[in-house]
Structure 1
Amino acid sequence: MKCPHCDTLNPAGRAFCRHCGQPLRTEEVAEKARRRFRFTWPKGRGRLRRLLAVLAILALLAALVWAGMRYGPRAVDAVRDRLAKPEPVTPAEVTASSSTRGHAAALVIDGLSNRFWEPGHEKHPWVELSFGRPIRVLNVIVTGGVSAEQQVYARQGRPADVRLELWTPDGTRTEKDLHLVDHAGPQTFEMAVGDVTRMRLTVSSGYGLTSGKVPSIGEIEVFRRP
């Protein structure tokens, strides 16, 4: 047998070269080593792997179902809110914490900006709108002050910070803080609150509240999702 390393001839059957001492059958030796260290899976290992794969798939499906039940309706509502064209809704009733003579709370929904609700001299006056059936509120437009004309508007008190509270039939309440800039005209506030049966706007602070002036509101418009 010829040594593959030094070409020395060796008797048949030798494992190593008599001259250089290198292995004579390198491929055979390597194959024996590979067989020696080769790992063999247990017989039941394939079934276990398949079972684990099935369990992983079932866990993933369960997670997807849970996420769909928890977040699916919200996602659908969000898409519908974006695609919907808000339509105005007229409240069934309007009440207030107080009103001066000739400036009742109902004037905030009469469609005229030169007629306004004027509260009495109290710390945090509020006006409340009730609806005949639950609605999904998308926009609320507030026209503060006594007029849409800037010069007339600036002569009287007008709201600055307003706390908006919205109630559902089961009593759940949602609160939002609205800030009106000191300028005549309507100001729009976007939101998405469902199943609203009534809302209250409480004036927390105002502009021009000197010499006994109070924060008046000319108009409140509510838009719902059709």
Structure 2
Amino acid sequence: MHVCPACGTSNGPGDDFCGNCGAYLGWSDTPPAPDRRPEPAPAPAPPPAEKPAPAGGGAGPGAEPGREEGTGPPPRTGPGLDRTEPPAPAPPPAPGATTPAPVVPVRPAKPVAPRPVVRPAAVPDEAAGTPCHACGTPNPPGRRFCRRCAAALNPAAEPASPPWWRTVWPPRRRARAGSGRAVRFLVTLAAVAAVCVGALLLLPAGRTAFEDARDKMGEPRPVTPVGIEASAEVPRHPAVNTTDGVSNRYWGAPAPGASVTYTFREPFRLVDLIIINGASKSPEDYARQARALRVDLEVTEQDGTRHREELALGDRPGPQTFPLGISDVKTVRLVLRSAVDLTEDRHLALAEVEFFRRG
């Protein structure tokens, strides 16, 4: 039986640690000694009184022969046999002798009950209960600490670990021990690298979207080229007729594949391109000549970069608008393709071409 020296709780003989406070029980192996008080000494008995010897060394009158004073059986008493005499007075002490102290009567001591000793109740060594999560030793119900290793049997629930990003940002936050600082650093580095790569890949698309938004916010303004050069043209229908602002005059090309190139004074952002197909925008004069139903567009920027697109034209009179959104435009080249109603006495007609910049 072990009694905890710290809290006094009874523990089993095989327990090494207290079940209430977890203190080590190795210091309480020796059982406490019972409380013993010294018993009171008995009072000393008074010494027997001495009778003076009779003169002449013989027995006194009435003394039985063969019996000395103070020896032998007591005198017999009874009817007709009462021979006791009163004791003779003690002789005076001799000169120089010590007088003995008188005997004082002593009251008998009162009996005192011993202090009760608390004996701890026996606890079985083997108890059924929840085993310790650290050493697996079964412990009786009600214990707070294991009797073998002093581990807490009902540990308080630990707080949930914060997410890894809470230990990274802000930088001054103190990270918990063993929280995987290297892993968090690698994950953060990979995330930053992915953002950078994505920005590089998506930068052209993002820039295009930004520029398109600016194009729609402003009012487009017309731009007039300073130079016009055609690869082929029929008499009385030069390529300059496409920029004169009059829709009843057109550029005549003898066959498909003919091209016209427009040069501008300074680079600009080409927002819209308007083309009027056929000989005129009026329905009566539109079908007098052949028309091109497809135009190959080639735009050259100031640094030499080229953009090629294929524009599909409708076989109808009137302007047809094509939004482009190309920056730093220096020249524009149009090639006529897919002719319709082209005969020996007819040629391809293109009435008007208009360029618009950002306002």
> Using the alignment, how far apart are the partners of 2:208 and 2:197 within structure 1?
13
Task: Answer yes or no: is 1:222 the counterpart of 2:355.
Answer: yes
Among 244, 252, 275, the residue aligned to 1:110: 244
Give the aligned partner of residue 264 of structure 2: 131
Give the aligned partner of residue 140 of structure 2: 24
Contact residue 15 and residue 25 of structure 1 kept, 8 A: no
Among 307, 310, 313, the residue aligned to 1:177: 310
Q: Deviations over 1:114-159 (max 9, x none)?
A: 011112x234111111111111111100001111111211121111
Tell which deviates more after alignment, 100-109 or 205-214: 205-214
Paired residues, what number?
205
Task: Answer yes or no: is 1:98 the counterpart of 2:209.
Answer: no
Equivalent AA in structure 1 for residue 353 of structure 2: I
Contact residue 142 and residue 220 of structure 1 kept, 8 A: yes
> Using the alignment, how far apart are the partners of 2:143 and 2:232 within structure 1?
102
Contact residue 14 and residue 24 of structure 1 kept, 8 A: no
Give the aligned partner of residue 44 of structure 2: none
Contact residue 142 and residue 221 of structure 1 kept, 8 A: yes
Give the aligned partner of residue 168 of structure 1: 301
> Using the alignment, how far apart are the partners of 2:358 and 2:152 within structure 1?
77
> Using the alignment, how far apart are the partners of 1:76 and 1:53 within structure 2?
35
Summarize the Cα distance change of 1:63–1:81 in structure 2 as closer, same or farther, 3 Å threshold: farther
Among 212, 233, 253, the residue aligned to 1:78: 212
Contact residue 136 and residue 195 of structure 1 kept, 8 A: yes
Q: Deviations over 1:167-201 (max 9, x none)?
A: 01222110111111111111011111111100111
Larger radius of gyration: 2
Q: How does 1:184-199 map to 2 (within 5 A)?
A: 184-199=317-332
SS for the counterpart of 2:356 is: strand
> Using the alignment, how far apart are the partners of 2:286 and 2:209 within structure 1?
41
Determine which structure has the larger strand proportion and give its number: 1
Summarize the Cα distance change of 1:184–1:25 in structure 2 as closer, same or farther, 3 Å threshold: same
Task: Answer yes or no: is 1:144 the counterpart of 2:277.
Answer: yes
SS for the counterpart of 1:114 is: coil
Task: Answer yes or no: is 1:158 the counterpart of 2:291.
Answer: yes
Contact residue 143 and residue 153 of structure 2 kept, 8 A: no
Contact residue 257 and residue 335 of structure 2 kept, 8 A: yes
Query: Which runs of no fewer than 5 residues in structure 1 stay unpaired?
Result: 2-9
Tell which deviates more after alignment, 92-101 or 63-72: 63-72
* Greater relative contact order, per chain length (Cα 8 Å cut-off, separation 6+): 1
TM-score (norm: length of structure 2): 0.50
> Using the alignment, how far apart are the partners of 2:208 and 2:195 within structure 1?
15
Which runs of 4 or more aligned residues in structure 1 lie more than 6 Å from their structure 2 counterparts after TM superposition?
Answer: none
Summarize the Cα distance change of 1:52–1:83 in structure 2 as closer, same or farther, 3 Å threshold: farther
SS for the counterpart of 2:252 is: coil
Identity %: 31
> Using the alignment, how far apart are the partners of 2:273 and 2:219 within structure 1?
14
SS for the counterpart of 1:103 is: coil
The alpha-carbon deviation at position 96 of structure 1 amounts to 0.5
Summarize the Cα distance change of 1:136–1:27 in structure 2 as closer, same or farther, 3 Å threshold: farther
